[in-house]
Structure 1
């Protein structure tokens, strides 16, 4: 859940014509002397807006100001013990950025929402039109709890500040400890290498262009040979951007959905990802499963080679919708010792 989704659901109630998510320069996150809008709302007619006030203020002073454009600027910060008054921060930043010559806002009216990741607090300061303030209060109360992006950002900052020194970290899978794969607990390998795949063509002008094709998530139990094959159809990427990044989150989402669909006794106790970039997305999506250990692998495991098996390659390429398949890679080898048929 995010603010754009909230506004999309309230178009008629707030008389919004269009909700526009602005393209943000990457430097916004650490350039503190100027800012810009993250979301821009266009009115069906014109909104009457109040004088600037805090989100917590109950009495807004309305004057004759009207606008057809209304912006929202989202500011994230990491407060400290001496300075975590988020209301004061929101007010100060709004007044700074709306009066300097460097910040570029699309209209004089808008609101700055400040979120303190360290203390999990939020506030907002700015102009308000009828219905906006109660909506932001309700939306932010839910978003601060449910949006996984906050969790990811908070964890990255904690790691950057080395606030994990007292917490044990799970050792990666290596050639020294691979024996644990064959213990009695259920272990899954999750491979996202083939989730986002493209073909490359040459255009009439001579440029190279890419076109997505069907991909798949491989979820493999090395002890039993069980393979969950989730086909990711190209329709998943329609209208989306940053697809390689999105593929990681899609993988984590599908893994979490599979775990929820299984009885407790069949759920994994440990998940090993073949690419370290999957650690954060899985950690976020598996917050409801604190007993599942998630770790990376130092071994180069060639799961992507499964695509070269004709049976799997054709199945994935010809799929017309997202589907889940269950295979056993060991087939009749179960009479052989576990170590033998894995290697």
Structure 2
């Protein structure tokens, strides 16, 4: 039930986040048709609100505000998170939201690679095959949806630079969640503690970036001229703040790979529910993609339960064998 609640909350908050993100970046403001060009300013606003909320919650709950891990480790998560978010925003200038959604279906592979490099995890052939099946199924479902092959995948939109930014997003995002997982496991760290110090580092880094680029005051001037943009940025930051708490709790409780699976399947589930709700027909290729994703998830759940059962059986046997050995030695 806890995992299901995390999935629902992550999906709901990121749905609002995605809509606001595309509205701010891709739709012009005002009669002059001005586009918002300050991606790092959005990161700054997101982190400021998240930081303020984390401090408030910790003070209300009377939690210790001192850092648990060295500051540079929080800074590592912060830097990779800023780079991932900036790549995500910048990519929307070159590829459409559906194309970006398609790219996000490959989240599991970078997480597994980073898990091997950072946490010395060992994934078997079965794990990689399941990751490939889930990724392929989600990609097939998104690629062959109604209207998916029109503007979203055509012409200059699908540029090399846009795809490079998406690759950067996947790499940095995979590092972020994996290193967060490592911090949770390596230190006695609560969710609010990590969020607070990661966002504090992000505020400092994004402020430095905005000042050196000379974009802080132009961004403030833009949202002062376009009040609807101010409202959209506030909604984006609110959704980002809420999603951060659910995401961090999921990573701490269930691990980075489980979070990557949730993020991959949510793309498919949201479109599938939309098709069912509005009675849009699904092609046979989309049904094949759906079967591939949920079949892989079911097999992963079944195989995991089987492995845990085998481990539980082995442990009493090993204890019993050790007891017999000790008795024999005493005789």
Report the TM-score, using the length of structure 2 for normalisation. Answer: 0.27
Structure with the higher helix share, 1 or 2 = 2
Report the TM-score, using the length of structure 1 for normalisation. Answer: 0.26
Structure with the higher strand share, 1 or 2 = 1
Larger Rg: 1
